[in-house]
Amino acid sequence: MTRVFFGGILFVFFCVASLFADTTLVDNQLNYSVYLPANWVREVENDSQHIFVDTTYFYPAELSFNRYTIDSTLYKTADEWTQAHFLGYRLTVQYSVDPAGVVLYSNSDSSVRQGSLQAAEAYSIFFSSDTSIGSWAEYIRFTACGRYGYELYAISDTADMSENIGLYAAILQSITIAPGDHVVSQPAFRRSVSAAGKALKPYACDPLGRTTGMAGASRGLAAGIYIWRNGVKSPFLR
């Protein structure tokens, strides 16, 4: 799984997208633009994370755009942040136990770009000792610019990722990040949730322990372990 793996990604993406209306979304909160096929929307999770989902649920993966403030005492350049987090990701997956992870593909050479920015990418698969949970996969990219580092990923069950990795990767690769030191602005909107809804809202923990808020039970969920606010864990196998 090297360049051949992603060689046909853009071709597949534009073949699919050409059948339907699409749009280029420009976001002034986190200062980026992204090419979204028809029926895909952006949702604001918080001040530093936006997610992209298919409202028809035909494509069940969750795509995420995350921004982090770079600690200038640890990283002299933006590229140092990119490489450090890419290597940290690989080591975390390699030494994960339950779920056990395997990096099937990774690339951090100069050919990997996020627009004009240096980037690094990987594709991993995860297995749980709990057979009722099954396996899932993740495609992830790291890049950095100015004062911020960025983590872009798509996560879903292995069957979905195997079939639709071309589309998911192309959406993430289409993201263009504005250069320079960005000013943090207020969120464009916030989701209104009642007190009862907050108590029941599930949070999906991905293989690296990142907590991702789910917009609602009606969305197709990727396979994994879902932790509710009351602490109860429940597996989901698509």
Domains of the chain, earliest start first: 3-182 (3.40.1000.10)
Q: Which residue has the higher pLDDT, 215 or 88?
A: 88
Q: Give me the mean pLDDT over the 88-107 stretch.
A: 93
Exposed, middle or buried by CB within 10 Å (0-12, 13-18, 19+), for 192? exposed
Name the maximum alpha-carbon separation found in the chain: 49
Residue 51 has pLDDT above 50, yes or no: yes
Residue 220 has pLDDT above 50, yes or no: no
Determine the pLDDT at residue 132: 81
| CB 117 within 8 Å of CB 34 | no
Q: Give me the mean pLDDT over the 232-238 stretch.
A: 40
Strands 135-145 and 203-205: what pairing?
A: unpaired
Cα–Cα distance, 112 to 92 (Å, whole number):
21
Which tokens hold the place of 155?
């996560």
Determine the pLDDT at residue 180: 56
Cα–Cα distance, 161 to 222 (Å, whole number):
10
